[in-house]
Amino acid sequence: MNVQEQIIALREELNLHNYNYYVLDTPTISDFEFDQKLKELEKLELAHPEYFDSNSPTQRVGGAITKNFDTVVHRYRMYSLENSYSKEDLLDWEQRIQKNLGDVPVEFTCELKYDGASISITYEDGELIKAVTRGDGVQGDDVTNNIRTIRSVPIKLKGDYPKSFDIRGEIVLPFAGFEKMNQELIEIGETPYSNPRNTASGSLKLQDSAEVAKRPLDCLLYYVVGSDLGFATQYEGLEKAREWGFKVPIVSKLAKNIDEVLEFIAYWDEHRHELPYETDGVVIKINSLHYQEELGYTSKFPRWAIAYKFKAEQAETILNTISYQVGRTGAITPVANLEPVQLAGTIVKRASLHNADQIAKLDIREGDSVYVEKGGEIIPKIVGVNLEARPADSQRTVYIKECPECQTKLVRNEGEAQHYCPNVYGCPPQIAGRIQHFISRKAMDIDGLGEETVVLLYKNELVENYADLYELKKEQLLGLERMGEKSADNLIKGIELSKQVPFERVLYALGIRFVGETVAKKLAAHYKNIDALSQAPLMEMIMVDEIGERIAQSVIDFFSNEKNKEIIERLKSYGLQFVIEEKESTVVSDILKGKTIVVSGVFTKMSRDEIKQAIEDHGGKNGSSISSKTDYVVAGDKMGPSKLEKANKLGITILNEEEFLSMIQ
């Protein structure tokens, strides 16, 4: 390859990675590798200016706009930031600034660099007008409805704000919320999200803002743009924005000189792990807005700001063995057992290897010296292999073909990364895992019975499925390890009490793949009893609010299995709740008495089902389609144009969500 071809190849490759990262939110290489390649391209372009191209990834902000949202041109362009990785880089930058501005004292604002998705929000007369993603920097996606659902974003401002301005910030997913979301995914047998940044960014692009509202997103603001803002420095801008009601982190500092900047960096490099969200560096900005204007921008960055990136916390250690875990749903997870090593304040002994593809991609082998990194994940991950330290007799990893617990041949469904053990009823960790899920807190919440006891019961052949729990006798328990009279009584009592647990939780407890807590609630509310649900055809089930084809198919598969049918019949005979108890009348008012109302579209404050419930609670009737008998249509986002036309033709009053809510208030 000659230099020109090399440059073109790198540009193409980086464009593809940008697309994977910014549009699909599923990068296929690490940020470190990406930055290396970008640097390589920068170097080549610098040495060969004859191949300059204003469309090169070195010249443009990485993102892109999608077709799913309206495109909005930014009033003020959105830039990326120049990166620096060392003290020397920073001192160089300072020198360039001083050369540019002349011999004047320069102050800096130091802020943390939050790792999420950038956003620009426009306010007019103190009201939120529009929220737009960075996109390619010139134009982005209009995600206003999604941003409105984030509680820390003010819809109305307070205090003494400018008439019109844009404010820039980062949409982040705090660690706690991220872990909670992943916990829920793991519970329903789904693959967890890989890190908070991509999850936050992906959340903004969801079509259903009600879905966004459920995610614990946060918005941290750091920059006000506009004219006549009423302040002269970046630091004052942060203070003002805070007064107007924005969430501006208090962790920022006005530095009188570059030494104070370095102190700030040193402090946060050490303490960043105490923060509730991910940060990947410090952003240093020239404090005076006047100087900022004088310095201006390159095609990609402001010259008046620079990011200092923390080194990812990495450690090198030996991978002793690879073992394989079998989950409740039969999913196989390969795990690296490491020579214990200190990393970001904890000792790491194990790391997830995710799946067969991941192992093959990095060519990870037993005996290798590997690099371990800690991101937002609970479990650290392996990001690479030190090939120079690879032992001469090293063998390529051959992924297991049989289940390590029951020796059944593994399967891998098309389009899925995970291998599965299909021996659902004979594979010990799957059997115990299902019972453990059944008794868990959000499911049957059985007092006196824990995960370890389940394993004990299973090993002693007292239970093989969750129906067997209801036939346990005290005498059988007394012979078990650490099982006294009192614990045995408690266990039997806890099992007895679980017969009162309402249907929706029983349905969740059954452990049907993809049926988490929320889905179980929706299905229970819609079908009211298990017989109706178990006979429901696919086409009908997918009409239920929030139920898609994948979930519906999984429910149907579950109920068509003979073994499951038998277990459910037994559970019924023990007296578990398989019918929704008709709610006592929840009638709140009769404001809507005699009115037939049709609900259509997607809502932000309530789900469609909640609105339907509210209609009944206030004495109204839910209509299934728009006709001359319809009194009102409650219309959310994305209501079909033909429905709208029909309602208009019939002269039916159309209410938006707010109007409906104020009607029943």
Ligand X SMILES: NC(=O)c1ccc[n+]([C@@H]2O[C@H](COP(=O)([O-])OP(=O)(O)OC[C@H]3O[C@@H](n4cnc5c(N)ncnc54)[C@H](O)[C@@H]3O)[C@@H](O)[C@H]2O)c1
Select from ligand X, Zn ion, none the partner in contact with residue 21, using the beta carbon and a kind-dependent cut-off of 5 to 8 Å.
ligand X
For residues 307 and 568, which CB has a smaller minimum distance to ligand X in the complex?
A: 307
| 334 close to 382: Cβ distance less than 8 angstroms | no
29 binds ligand X (CB under 6 A): yes
218 binds ligand X (CB under 6 A): no
406 or 480: CB nearest Zn ion: 406
CB of 76 to ligand X, least distance (A): 13
End-to-end Cα, the chain, rounded Å: 71
Q: DSSP for 418-483?
A: S-B---TTT-HHHHHHHHHHHHSTTTT--TT--HHHHHHHHHTTS-SSGGGGGG--HHHHHTSTT-
Rg (alpha carbons) of the chain, rounded to whole number: 29
Looking up tokens 């023990």 gives 574
Which of 113, 205, 521, 612 is the catalytic position? 113
The two beta strands, 279-286 and 108-114, are antiparallel
Q: How many residues bind ligand X (CB under 6 A)?
A: 25
- Tokens encoding 354: 């995710």
CA dihedral 533→537→538→542, nearest 10 degrees, is -60
Q: What residues form DSSP beta bridges with 409?
A: 402
From ligand X, Zn ion, none, which one binds at residue 113 (CB under 5 to 8 Å depending on kind)?
ligand X
The answer to whether the annotation marks 32 as part of a ligand binding site is yes
Q: Which does 136 bind (CB under 5 to 8 A by kind): Zn ion, ligand X, none?
A: none
Least Å distance between CB 582 and Zn ion?
42
Considering the rule CB under 6 A, would residue 109 count as an interface residue with ligand X? no
**80 belongs to an annotated ligand binding site:** yes
45, 111, 368, 405: which one binds Zn ion (CB under 5 A): 405
- Beta-carbon contacts of residue 308 (< 8 Å; ≥ 6 apart): 84, 85, 89, 90, 113, 265, 281, 282, 283, 284
- Exactly one of 167, 421, 457, 615 binds Zn ion (CB under 5 A); that residue is 421
CB of 441 to Zn ion, least distance (A): 26
Say whether residue 62 binds ligand X (CB under 6 A).
Answer: yes
Task: Out of 283, 289, 372, 410, point to the residue binding ligand X (CB under 6 A).
Answer: 283
Judged by DSSP in three states, 260 sits in helix
Is 221 annotated to bind a ligand? Reply is no
Residue written as token pair 């969750």 = 466
Asked if 45 touches Zn ion (CB under 5 A), the answer is no
- Please report whether residue 406 would count as binding Zn ion according to CB under 5 A: yes
110 is in an annotated binding site: no
Helices (H), 314-450: 356-362, 428-439
- What are 415's two structure tokens? 């389009």
Which one, 35 or 569, has the nearer CB to ligand X? 35
Helix (H, G, I), strand (E, B) or coil at 579: strand
Q: What is the closest distance, in whole angstroms, from the C-beta atom of residue 491 to ligand X in the complex?
A: 50
SS3 365: coil
Provide the residue type at 413 as one letter.
N
Q: Is 219 annotated as a binding residue?
A: no
Active site residue 113: yes
Q: What residue is closest to ligand X based on CB?
A: 118
Helix (H, G, I), strand (E, B) or coil at 310: coil
Question: Interface with Zn ion by CB under 5 A: which range of 222-230, 302-310, 426-434, 640-648?
Answer: 426-434
* Span 118-177, contacts to ligand X by CB under 6 A: 118, 134, 170
Quickly count: other Cβ atoms within 10 Å of residue 389's Cβ: 12
Q: Which of 93, 114, 514, 632 binds ligand X (CB under 6 A)?
A: 114
Closer of 402 and 496 to Zn ion (Cβ): 402
Structure tokens at 172: 């982040």
What is d(CA 259, CA 265) in angstroms, rounded to the nearest whole number? 10
Annotated ligand binding at 37? The verdict is no
Which CB sits closer to ligand X, 258 or 435? 258
User: Which tokens hold the place of 247?
Assistant: 């969430």
| Span 300-319, contacts to ligand X by CB under 6 A | 307
Which of 403, 509, 576, 639 is close enough to bind Zn ion by CB under 5 A? 403
410 touches Zn ion by CB under 5 A: no
Q: By CB under 6 A, is residue 15 in contact with ligand X?
A: no
- 120, 133, 146, 423: which one contacts Zn ion (CB under 5 A)? 423
Instruction: Tell me the Ramachandran region of residue 240: left when phi exceeds 0, alpha when psi lies from -120 to 50, beta otherwise.
Output: alpha
Cβ atoms of 479 and 502 within 8 Å: the answer is no
The reply on whether position 427 binds Zn ion by CB under 5 A is: yes
Is 82 buried (19+), middle (13-18) or exposed (0-12) by CB count in 10 A? middle
Q: Put residue 242 in one of left, alpha, beta given phi > 0 → left and psi -120 to 50 → alpha.
A: alpha
Give, as ranges, the residues between 493 and 532 that touch ligand X (CB under 6 A): none
Of 118 and 436, the one with the shorter C-beta distance to Zn ion is 436
Q: Which residues are catalytic?
A: 113
What is the contact surface with ligand X in residues (CB under 6 A)?
Answer: 17-18, 20-21, 27, 29-31, 34-35, 61-62, 80-81, 83, 111, 113-114, 118, 134, 170, 222-223, 283, 307
Name the site residues for Zn ion (rule: CB under 5 A): 403, 405-406, 408, 421, 423, 427
Residues tagged in the binding site annotation for NAD(+): 31-35, 80-81, 111, 134, 170, 285, 309
Annotated binding residues for Zn(2+), written as ranges, equal: 403, 406, 421, 427
